[in-house]
């Protein structure tokens, strides 16, 4: 008898007849959308530490915490391909407006990046801060990523190296070409940033001083980045009158560097250009068929948002914003600029004209408290209040605020947006910060895409309008951008991958933010994990900050 008990105990020890698998977290009974675009399957997910440990049937397993996702979708964390949360995350690392939509990665670097910074750039960065104040405690590109790692954020972050930042570091804000020696220095800066974790080169070519860079300069910087596996991503020189020429430049740069190329916020801007949709898409498709790896991202709104200064020719900012402000106080130049604002320019991107005038320009953000009363009004309304023409009002506001003045331009066509969403190579980016509905963030109006870009895709366009299946929408928010960014173990629900996981209700997910009342969280996302840690549970932010700075393919650890 004694020997039999010993034998039974030994067998149980060997085969584990009494033990059950144990996990830190089990998400059970959900419909799993794995991020690949495949049809969903019902199942459970087990998470240990920061990793997905099991996917399947965990009915016999135990966990420290179990979440019942019955009736809900379970997906990989979503990737915001164009984020401007570089400062908002310094102010508040909880990233609530995006976390509450399931966004677990913010990707920075549209033209400018938070490094490298020369002493002059660092001083300018410090002095130009608006409502959000912080000490610039870093100099290099990687220094900012290290700074954010130490500060703590709820989401992951990553960044392209801004070509504008590189140009500013070496040349400044003047309208001239780089010398061969300066171009060599710029290449060295690219090399350093790629080894510090940059994803590639990002440009924003309608804005000075980026506008002053030649195609050759951009080709050489991108080729250097491509040596480290980096890609090229661009707000092109034109999204309107010259969009075909601008797209050819992007294709040329990507082809020359033999790297992935991506368009920021795909659009045909301005009513006169809405009909170019078929031509633009055919150009991209033809490039892809020719073996050039081109894709795009977008936001789901008919208005873009940038500065009032995009109503003036870039040459006005030769030498920097200070020079522009000075020039706008010259009566002769003001008269020329008033005329230029109402010109359908072919050699620069006139967003004021593209929006069809002051009635379609919405004021969003000011630095000076005395001007914040105009937030949420159109330029036409403020011109009427002040008794000056819209053109003079625009110039006066820039002078008085000493900033470019944040505005929204209504430029796009809803039918084109619907067609773009269905393209297989399009992912999504908010082109905004990530905020909360309290504190300093309430001093300005963001574009509603800050609170609703992802939820709007999942609710309005996927569920309500049925433009794409839900599994396709999830792929466009996770697997597709992760592949384009060459992220390791991200973007899919797969054993061994990092546990960036979202639970949401496809029946209720919805954006609530509007242009009039933008500070409203989206609904329908109940739970979010970043690197295995719950940052959103039962619709409430946990205050946890497990996010990491993700480094690009050329990263060399210290």
In tens digits, what is the pLDDT along the chain, a chain of 558 residues? 444 434 443 444 444 445 789 999 999 999 999 999 999 999 999 999 999 999 999 999 999 999 999 999 999 999 999 999 999 999 999 999 999 999 999 999 999 999 999 999 999 999 999 999 999 999 999 999 999 999 999 999 999 999 999 999 999 999 999 999 999 999 999 999 999 999 999 999 999 999 999 999 999 999 999 999 999 999 999 999 999 999 999 999 999 999 999 999 999 999 999 999 999 999 999 999 999 999 999 999 999 999 999 999 999 999 999 999 999 999 999 999 999 999 999 999 999 999 999 999 999 999 999 999 999 999 999 999 999 999 999 999 999 999 999 999 999 999 999 999 999 999 999 999 999 999 999 999 999 999 999 999 999 999 999 999 999 999 999 999 999 999 999 999 999 999 999 999 999 999 999 999 999 999 999 999 999 999 999 999 999 999 999 999 999 987
Phi, psi of 322 (to 5 degrees): -60, -40
* Distance in angstroms (rounded) separating the CA atoms of residues 370 and 261: 43
Question: Residue 120: helix, strand or coil by DSSP?
Answer: helix
* Distance in angstroms (rounded) separating the CA atoms of residues 326 and 324: 5
Please work out, in degrees rounded to the nearest 5, the angle formed at the alpha carbon of residue 380 by the alpha carbons of 375 and 384. 95
CA dist 221 to 195, 196, 471, Å?
Answer: 14, 16, 37
Q: Which residue has the tokens 């500013």?
A: 168
H or E element that contains 332: helix 331-341
Q: How far apart are the first and last CA of the chain?
A: 62
Tokens of 202: 């990002």
**Helix runs in 227-310, H state only:** 243-257, 277-289
Total-model pTM: 0.95
Angle at which helices 163-170 and 180-195 cross, to 10°: 130
Q: Which residue has the tokens 């295995």?
A: 532
Q: Evaluate whether 262 touches 297 at the Cβ level (below 8 Å).
A: yes
What is the per-residue burial (b if ≥16 Cβ within 10 Å, else e) of 429-450?
bbbbbbbbeeeebeebbbbbbb
* Distance in angstroms (rounded) separating the CA atoms of residues 238 and 240: 5
**DSSP 8-state assignment for residue 378:** B
H or E element that contains 41: strand 41-48
H or E element that contains 55: strand 51-56
**Helix runs in 402-448, H state only:** 414-421
* Distance in angstroms (rounded) separating the CA atoms of residues 316 and 472: 44
How many Cβ atoms sit within 10 Å of the Cβ of residue 257?
Answer: 24
* Distance in angstroms (rounded) separating the CA atoms of residues 558 and 554: 13
Phi, psi of 526 (to 5 degrees): -100, -30
Q: Is 66 exposed, middle or buried, given 0-12, 13-18 or 19+ CB atoms closer than 10 A?
A: middle
As a residue count, the chain comes to 558
**Dihedral angle of Cα 209, 211, 213, 216, to the nearest 10 degrees:** 160
pLDDT at 10: 42
Tokens of 295: 């894709």
* Distance in angstroms (rounded) separating the CA atoms of residues 339 and 329: 16
Q: Which residues have a Cβ under 8 Å from the Cβ of 473 and sit 6 or more positions away?
A: 457, 458, 461, 462
Q: Evaluate whether 363 touches 379 at the Cβ level (below 8 Å).
A: yes
Q: Which residue has the tokens 């009158």?
A: 241
pLDDT at 20: 87
């Amino acid at each position: 008898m004694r020997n039999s008990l010993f034998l039974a105990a030994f067998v149980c020890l060997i085969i584990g007849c009494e033990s059950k698998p144990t996990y830190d977290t089990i998400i059970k009974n959900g419909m799993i959308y794995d991020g690949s675009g495949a049809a969903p399957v019902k199942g459970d997910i087990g998470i240990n530490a920061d990793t997905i440990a099991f996917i399947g049937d965990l009915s016999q397993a135990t966990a420290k915490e179990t979440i019942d996702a019955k009736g809900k979708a379970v997906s990989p964390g979503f990737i915001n391909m164009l984020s401007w949360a570089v400062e908002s995350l310094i102010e508040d690392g909880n990233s609530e407006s995006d976390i509450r939509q399931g966004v677990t990665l913010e990707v920075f670097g549209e033209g400018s990046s938070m490094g490298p910074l020369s002493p002059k750039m660092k001083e300018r960065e410090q002095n130009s801060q608006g409502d959000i104040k912080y000490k610039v405690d870093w100099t290099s590109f990687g220094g900012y990523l290290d700074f954010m790692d130490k500060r703590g954020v709820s989401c992951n972050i990553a960044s392209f190296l801004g070509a504008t930042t590189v140009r500013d570091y070496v040349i400044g804000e003047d309208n001239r070409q780089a010398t061969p020696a300066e171009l060599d220095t710029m290449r060295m800066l690219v090399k350093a940033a790629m080894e510090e974790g940059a994803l590639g080169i990002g440009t924003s070519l309608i804005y000075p001083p980026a506008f002053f860079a030649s195609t050759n300069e951009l080709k050489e910087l991108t080729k250097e980045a491509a040596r480290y596996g980096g890609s090229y991503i661009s707000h092109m020189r034109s999204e309107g009158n010259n969009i075909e020429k601008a797209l050819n430049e992007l294709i040329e740069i990507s082809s020359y560097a033999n790297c992935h190329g991506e368009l920021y916020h795909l659009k045909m801007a301005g009513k006169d250009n809405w009909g170019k949709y078929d031509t633009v898409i055919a150009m991209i498709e033809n490039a892809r068929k020719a073996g050039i790896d081109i894709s795009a991202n977008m936001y789901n709104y008919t208005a873009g948002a940038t500065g009032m200064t995009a109503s003036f020719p870039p040459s006005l900012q030769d030498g920097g914003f200070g020079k522009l402000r000075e020039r706008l106080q010259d009566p002769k130049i003001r008269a020329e600029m008033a005329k230029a604002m109402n010109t359908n320019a072919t050699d620069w991107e006139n967003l004021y004209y593209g929006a069809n005038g002051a009635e379609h320009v919405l004021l969003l953000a000011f630095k000076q408290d005395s001007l914040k009363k105009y937030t949420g009004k159109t330029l036409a309304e403020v011109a009427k209040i002040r008794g000056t023409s819209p053109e003079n009002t625009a110039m006066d506001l820039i002078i008085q605020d000493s900033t470019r003045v944040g505005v929204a331009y209504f430029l796009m066509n809803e039918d084109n947006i619907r067609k773009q969403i269905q393209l297989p190579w399009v992912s999504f980016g908010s082109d905004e910060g990530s905020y909360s509905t309290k504190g300093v963030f309430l001093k300005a109006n963001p574009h509603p895409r800050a609170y609703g870009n992802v939820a709007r895709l999942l609710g309005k366009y996927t569920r309500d309008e049925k433009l794409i299946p839900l599994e396709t929408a999830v792929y466009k928010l996770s697997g597709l951008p992760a592949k384009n960014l060459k992220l390791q173990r991200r973007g899919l629900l797969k054993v061994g991958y990092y546990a960036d996981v979202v639970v949401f209700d496809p029946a209720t997910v919805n954006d609530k933010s509007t242009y009039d009342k933008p500070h409203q969280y989206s609904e329908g996302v109940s739970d979010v994990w970043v690197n295995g840690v719950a940052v959103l549970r039962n619709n409430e932010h946990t205050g946890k900050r497990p996010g990491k700075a993700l480094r690009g393919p050329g990263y060399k650890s210290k």
